[in-house]
Amino acid sequence: MAVGTEGVVSVRVTLAQQPLAWQDPDENRGRFEALLAPLAGETDLVILPETFTTGFTMEVERVAEPADGPTVAWLQRLAHRLDAAVAGSVITAEQGSYYNRLLWAEPGEGLRHYDKRHLFRMGGEHEHFTPGRSAWTVEWRGFRICPLVCYDLRFPVFSRRRADLDYDLLLYVANWPAARAYAWRQLLIARAIENQAFVAGVNRTGEDGCAVEHRGDSLVCDFLGQPLAELAAMPGLRTVELDLQALRAFRERFPAHLDADRFTLCAP
C-alpha cells in the first residue's frame, strides 16, 4: 500500500498467470514460489489461478487436501515472505465433502476461505463438490476486497454490491477455457461497470489434463470497465496500482448505486 502526501491510498495488485502442472501440487507450489520471490515488498496482493495446485480436475478423492493441508501452510509462509496477501483456490476435503476453496492468506498467519458457490455443471463440478453459501469482503491495506471463483463471474446478482457485501475491488480466480475467452473479458468489464468497482480476473494458461486449452487473458479494469493491466495468452506476472481516491471520487460524482434495487439472496 502507498499513502501519498494528500492521504491518497493505493494498493498494488499482482496477476500471476501461469500454466499448471496437472495434479502435481509440489511442482505448482515450487514454480509459483520461485516466480514470486522477487516481488517481496513490491506488491500488496498476489492473485493465483483457480485450483492452482492441481488444475481443474474432478479426481477429488485423489488430489484433495485437508483443510489444514500443506498448501495452507505454504500460502501463509509465502504471504509472510512477500509481505502481501495471497489468494487462490485449492481442492479441499472437509468433513466428508469436497470444496473448491479460495484461500486468502495475509502476513502474520491471517487466513480466510471462501467456498465456490456456483459449480460448473458443464464440467461435472456439481457432481463432485459441495457449493459454498455466501461471499464476504475483507479489508486489506485500505481496500475492501471481495474474492470469488471462476463460474461465479456469470452470476451478477451474487457478485452485486449491496449493504452486506460492499467492496472496492472484486476479484475472480479462474480456469476459464479459451473457447469462451470473449465471454471472460466482457463479463469482467460488465462486473466493474455495474458495481462501480475495480475488478481483477486471473486465469491460467496452457492445456490441462483433460485437453482443455486456456489462453489466460488475465485483466484488471477500473470502475468504468477500462483495462488497467492485461496479460494476453502468454504466462507472466503483471502488477498494477489501484487508486482508492479515484474510485471514491467517481462514486460521489456518479452515485448510480443509490438507485439500485434492494434484494436479499436466498440460501441455496
Active site positions, annotated: 50, 116, 150
Indicate the SS3 state at residue 197.
coil
Q: Please, are residues 185 and 205 in contact by the beta-carbon 8 Å criterion?
A: no
Beta carbons within 10 angstroms of residue 3's beta carbon: 12
Q: At 70, phi and psi to the nearest 5? A: -65, -30
Q: Which cell is 119 given?
A: 459449480
Q: 3-class DSSP state for residue 17?
A: strand
Give the Cα separation of 211 and 266 in Å (integer). 37
- The cell numbers describing 122, all together, are 458443464
Dihedral over alpha carbons 7, 139, 42, 52 (to 10 degrees) = -160
